[in-house]
Amino acid sequence: MSDALTALRGKSVTSDVTITDAGLQGMITLRGDLSDKKLGSICKTLTGQAFPDQGLANCEGAQGLCWMSPDEVLVLVPYAQVNEALASLDKALAGKHYLAQNVSDARALIRVEGAFAREVIAKLAPVDLHPMAFEPGDFRRSRLGQIAAAFWMPDDDSFAVICFRSVAEYAFDLLVASANAGAVGHFPQD
């Protein structure tokens, strides 16, 4: 069997902002009744993270939960543990109406880190990213330029960006171009 590779194969560019292929990440799209206690409980068991409220992501390292829509959450687990996590979901949610699908190889995860990472994303996404409107832990499904993307802030100076694998190279290059254009000073720096 061949080894799994990311779409970006470890690509990284560093200037004032670092844009990096985050590597293989286990991702499970889980659709169902998000108010169901069993669903919330198994998600917490799999990730060690509290179930997120609307518009939030609770992530630590390779594990986390991202609120995608009123009936969908993205479950993040280490890449090697996806099949085990799917089996646990199937067992815990047996008899319930739900969908759990491994989307790990259909997505790419890119990290954007540095003092003006917020501006890099803001130049590309139609989202209010002012520090008072978008804080660490906030999550959005939106777009970067012309492509669908989702992103959240793990901390004050970084973003995690998810896009389709088929447009990962374009997304990476778009982020690099935005970073290379420099900060415009739109957001206050501490």
Q: Indicate whether 16 and 80 sit together in one domain.
A: no
Residues 99 and 31 in one domain: yes
Span 85-115, pLDDT tens digits? 999 999 999 999 999 999 999 999 999 999 9
* Residue 1 pLDDT > 70: no
Nearest to 168 by CA among 186, 148, 142, 190: 148
pLDDT of 75 > 90? The answer is: yes
**Does the structure show a pLDDT above 80 at 189?**
no
Residue 100 lies in a domain: yes
pLDDT at 186 over 90: no
- Read off the CATH number of the domain in which 113 is found: 3.30.1360.120
Residues 112 and 100 reside in one and the same domain: no
Q: Indicate the number of domains in the chain.
A: 2
Shared domain check, 31 and 95:
yes
What is the pairing mode between strands 107-114 and 139-144? unpaired
- Quick check: is 6 in a domain? no
Q: SS3 sequence, the chain? A: CCCCCCCCCCCEEECCEEEEECCCCEEEEEECCCCCHHHHHHHHHHHCCCCCCCCEEEEECCEEEEEEECCEEEEEECHHHHHHHHHHHHHHCCCCCCEEEECHHHEEEEEEEECCHHHHHHCCCCCCCCCCCCCCCEEEEEEECCEEEEEEEEECCEEEEEEEHHHHHHHHHHHHHHHHCCCCCCCCCC
Residue 2 in domain: no
What pLDDT is recorded for position 11?
Answer: 96
* 15-47 residue pLDDT tens: 899 999 999 999 999 999 999 999 999 999 999
If asked whether residues 111 and 175 sit together in one domain, one would say: yes
The range of the structural domain enclosing residue 58 comes to 26-104
CATH of the domain at 61: 3.30.70.1520
Rounded to 10°, the helix 82-92/37-47 angle is 160
User: Is residue 154's pLDDT more than 90?
Assistant: yes
Is residue 1 domain-resident?
A: no
- Contact between 7 and 161 under an 8 Å Cβ cutoff? The reply is no
Residues 97 and 166 in one domain: no
119 with 151, same domain? Answer: yes
Q: How confident is the model at residue 181 (pLDDT cuts 50, 70, 90)?
A: confident
Residues in the chain: 190
Residue 185 in any domain: the answer is no
Per the domain annotation, does 148 fall within a domain?
Answer: yes
Q: Is residue 161 part of a domain?
A: yes
Does residue 98 belong to any structural domain of this protein? Answer: yes
